[in-house]
Structure 1
Amino acid sequence: MTTVDILDIAREPVWLIQCDTPIPAGFPSPADDEMGERVDLNKILLPHPTHTYLARVNGTSMDGAPSHIVDGALLAVDCAMKPRVGHVVIAAVENEFTVKRLAKRGEVYWLVPDNPEHAAIEVRGADHVRVWGVVTHVVTELINGKLHEDVRARRLQ
């Protein structure tokens, strides 16, 4: 089963410069050298700051389509959002966190992996499975090493 570790996060603004020009997947234009306004990354990733956490994925159950959430990715998890069918959620299954897609088959809810090599988990009640939050954003590292070096994990009890 894919598990997640809940991380401590800074709540103060994380400023990035927004590029006002769309970025083509071709060659950049030399005329596009102007920088845009500053964007607070926390406002994007943490819409409900006191109810939003970062979690690191451990495993491969969600690395298939459509989410492609890979081992080691960081997830922004909003615990204030009401989970709906189709959402990727963090759930506590027998007291261990996992990340799966919430599905409904007939009258039964399931936690379904995007990777078909992993099994779905039937939600048999609040004592067995508890949905903890909705995944709103995924941060995936393209250059190996920095994300794991710079972000430290701490288990929540």
Structure 2
Amino acid sequence: MNSIIGKPIAAPPTTALAFFDATVAAGFPSPAADYIQNTIDLHERLVHHPAATFFVRVAGDSMVDTGIVDGSILVVDASRNAQSGDIVVAIIDGKYTVKRLRLVAGQCELHAENARANYPPLRPSEDLQIFGVVTSHIVEHVRLPGSSRAKKRSSSAP
């Protein structure tokens, strides 16, 4: 992981966005309502403790089996107590990493989740620090190269 994107700040004014209160089929299409039934506030949905919430960009592929891919943005709550089974941002030897926290025989282990790679569990010494618990992640979907309508991403995009 490269860096923390932002420091906690006072909750900014929020904007309610259109929300279709229906599911979208990922298989064959089904008829759907063509009107907006509700709104959703992403800040309210993703940021439960504004003073302790950070956003971190992921670099690497060790957590792809959880849906966290290279470039994902993690929503990290530093106020939550990490428990075995949580995905956490940890600090080991001054470097940030995202892994699944497991307690094995009373010892903390950090596990990658990528079946295509053979990442061994990390068994850090006493200098393991849990920065926070990952509560959500954001993946930006872009058009695949080679599409006739592919657009270049703006340089101001995260």
Query: TM-score by structure 2 length?
Result: 0.81
Show the counterpart of 1:70.
69
Which stretches in structure 2 are left out of the alignment for 5+ residues?
Answer: 144-151
Whether the 8 Å CA contact 1:11–1:49 is kept in 2: the answer is no
Paired residue secondary structure (2:12): coil
Deviation string, structure 1 residues 68-120 (Cα, Å, up to 9, x no partner): 31110011000111100000000111111110100111121111111242222
Deviation string, structure 1 residues 101-146 (Cα, Å, up to 9, x no partner): 0011112111111124222211322xx2100100010111221675
Show the counterpart of 2:79.
80
Q: 1:83 to 1:14 in 2, by over 3 A?
A: farther
Moved over 6 A (4+): none
Report the Cα offset of residue 11 of structure 1: 3.4
Show the counterpart of 1:154.
none
1:41 has 2:39 as partner = no
Whether the 8 Å CA contact 1:55–1:76 is kept in 2: the answer is yes
In 1, Cα distance between the equivalents of 2:94 and 2:15?
32
In 1, Cα distance between the equivalents of 2:90 and 2:134?
11
Q: 1:123 to 1:11 in 2, by over 3 A?
A: farther
Paired residue secondary structure (2:45): helix
Paired residue secondary structure (1:81): coil
Which stretches in structure 1 are left out of the alignment for 5+ residues?
Answer: 152-157
- Superposition map of 1:8-27 within 5 A: 8=6, 11-25=12-26, 26-27=28-29
Paired residue secondary structure (2:4): strand
Show the counterpart of 1:90.
89
- Superposition map of 1:1-157 within 5 A: 3-8=1-6, 11-25=12-26, 26-29=28-31, 32-63=33-64, 65=65, 67-115=66-114, 116-125=117-126, 128-143=127-142, 146=153, 149-151=156-158
In 1, Cα distance between the equivalents of 2:123 and 2:92?
10
Whether the 8 Å CA contact 1:52–1:76 is kept in 2: the answer is yes
In 2, Cα distance between the equivalents of 1:76 and 1:39?
17
- Residue type at the aligned position of 1:75: L
Answer with 18-27 or 137-146: which moved more. 137-146
Report the Cα offset of residue 148 of structure 1: 8.0
In 1, Cα distance between the equivalents of 2:59 and 2:99?
12
Paired residue secondary structure (1:54): strand
Decide which structure has the larger Cα Rg and report it. Answer: 2
Task: Give % identity.
Answer: 28
